[in-house]
Amino acid sequence: MTDKVHSQSSGKLIDNAADLKEMLGSIERSSIFGIDLEFIPERSYYPLICLIQVAVDKKVYLVDPIELNNGHLNELWQYVADASKIKVLHAGSQDLAIINQKSSLIPRNIFDTQLAAGFVGLGYPAGYGKLLNSIFDLSLSKTESFTDWSLRPLTPSQIDYAIDDALHLIDLYQNLRNRLEKRERLDWVLEECKQYEDPSYYEKESGREFMKVKGAQSLTRRKLAVLQSICLWRDQEARRIDKPPRFVLSDNIILELAKKPPQSQSDIGRIRGIKEGQLAGYSKNILKVVAEALALKESECPQWPSGKVPSKADVLIADVLYTVLKVRSQEIEIAPELIATRDELQRFVRAVKGAQEADSEPLQLLDGWRYRLAGTELERIIGGAPLTIKINSSSQDPISINL
């Protein structure tokens, strides 16, 4: 096993406009580049980008956004949105969301190596280091996994880690692409990566954050309205002071405020966990939004989505389908999670039986490669096609299924 992944000549720190221009020139001349972000999400309303690794022409440029102002990065973000260039990321959803938030641009022509690995029998979700180890016999250091990337100057260990984290992105892309082409699955991965080009992928569900508060599902419509109003105010305040919403008030506190809508500052002060500074600074606004929620008509109050509860029979059928799906997935070397989850299979059962909710999201299993690969067979099973399951515990493939 190789422990040293790179030489120092593989990387270059970019902390001034002249060096940035050199890097942008390399990107301009190339049809593909890798990108990875080191960021801190827990200190500010929007994640703080501390380092940007760009892999191009067998070199990693370590772009320091703390030293460079954001205006210097606009051209880099434009390349991420350039459909003529392939951008390689590993587990890129968070990175792309941050880039979209910073630039208001939609990323184009994305290749996510974590997604791709799941389509060629390498597991999903597989870590970057695990893939490099299994494919190239390379070992990445984990010493800087939880380092503070905002501190300057960067240490030699941090620089080594950052280079390693991006240096082999293009090699990994080429290897996975070759495997996908041999299995005729490249189009499936490219179809999955198209989700990153949908503007709705980056839209925050404004006004729906209250539904993520643990315990909200048990509230009445009126108290849900109170919770929603407090959540909206909390989000605005968090954005104003550039802190995470839970820094303003924790979920536990806002849930208690919704359960017992306060009428006075002293009522707020009785909530366990609220601090004196929060009481003094926020009481007036909290009482205002609570009063507004209490004044709503019942019909104007939010309602928890009813979501049809699956019958015991539907759950049982979906469990059988999940077993079939896992066996088939092992046979064809594709992660079952990429085809359908248990919840999606329950919805699939209801849809095939004609009982799917009208306002529910479209089922991917009824369309595209998923339907061709698994949906048609699962439909036949729901329709009553005879199913034979054979178990051979001594075999490498202990379960075989025949229709």
pLDDT at residue number 8: 55
pLDDT at residue number 1: 43
Q: Are residues 66 and 214 in the same domain?
A: no
User: What CATH code is carried by the domain that includes residue 143?
Assistant: 3.30.420.10
Q: Crossing angle for the helix pair 221-241 and 251-259, nearest 10 degrees?
A: 140
Q: Are residues 182 and 139 in the same domain?
A: yes
Residue 358 covered by a domain: yes
Residue 307 covered by a domain: no
Residue 264 covered by a domain: yes
Render pLDDT for 245-272 as a digit per residue (tens, 0 to 9): 999 999 999 999 999 999 999 999 999 9
Q: Are residues 88 and 174 in the same domain?
A: yes
Q: Are residues 194 and 262 in the same domain?
A: no
Nearest to residue 231, comparing CAs of 259, 218, 212?
212
Q: Are residues 160 and 78 in the same domain?
A: yes
Q: Are residues 46 and 156 in the same domain?
A: yes
- Tell me which of 154, 183, 202 is where a domain ends: 202
pLDDT at residue number 392: 84
Structure tokens of 66? Answer: 């703390």
Q: Are residues 21 and 104 in the same domain?
A: yes
Q: Is 343 exposed, middle or buried (0-12, 13-18, 19+ CB in 10 A)?
A: exposed
Q: What residue type is assigned to position 242 of the chain?
A: D
Q: Are residues 86 and 198 in the same domain?
A: yes
Alpha helix positions (H), 168-308 = 169-182, 186-193, 221-241, 245-248, 251-259, 265-269, 276-294
pLDDT at residue number 237: 97
- Give φ, ψ of 388 to 5 degrees: -110, 125
User: What CATH code is carried by the domain that includes residue 335?
Assistant: 1.10.150.80
pLDDT at residue number 306: 67
- Tell me which of 202, 236, 264 is where a domain ends: 202
CB contact at 8 A, 335 and 118: yes
Q: Are residues 198 and 82 in the same domain?
A: yes
Structure tokens of 231? Answer: 């959540």
Render pLDDT for 57-108 as a digit per residue (tens, 0 to 9): 999 999 999 999 777 899 999 999 999 999 999 999 999 999 999 999 999 9
Cα–Cα distance measured from residue 19 to residue 14, given in angstroms and rounded to the nearest whole number: 6
- Prior bond to 125 cis, omega within 30? yes
Q: Are residues 198 and 215 in the same domain?
A: no
Weakly modelled stretches of the chain, pLDDT under 50 = 1-5, 359
pLDDT at residue number 307: 62
- Tell me which of 151, 167, 202 is where a domain ends: 202
pLDDT at residue number 399: 85
Residue 306 covered by a domain: no
pLDDT at residue number 318: 96
Residue 73 covered by a domain: yes
Q: Are residues 197 and 215 in the same domain?
A: no
Q: Are residues 165 and 228 in the same domain?
A: no
Alpha helix positions (H), 128-205 = 128-136, 156-167, 169-182, 186-193
Q: Tokens 């997935």 label which residue?
A: 329
Number of domains in the chain: 3
Task: Name the residue range of residue 283's domain.
Answer: 209-300
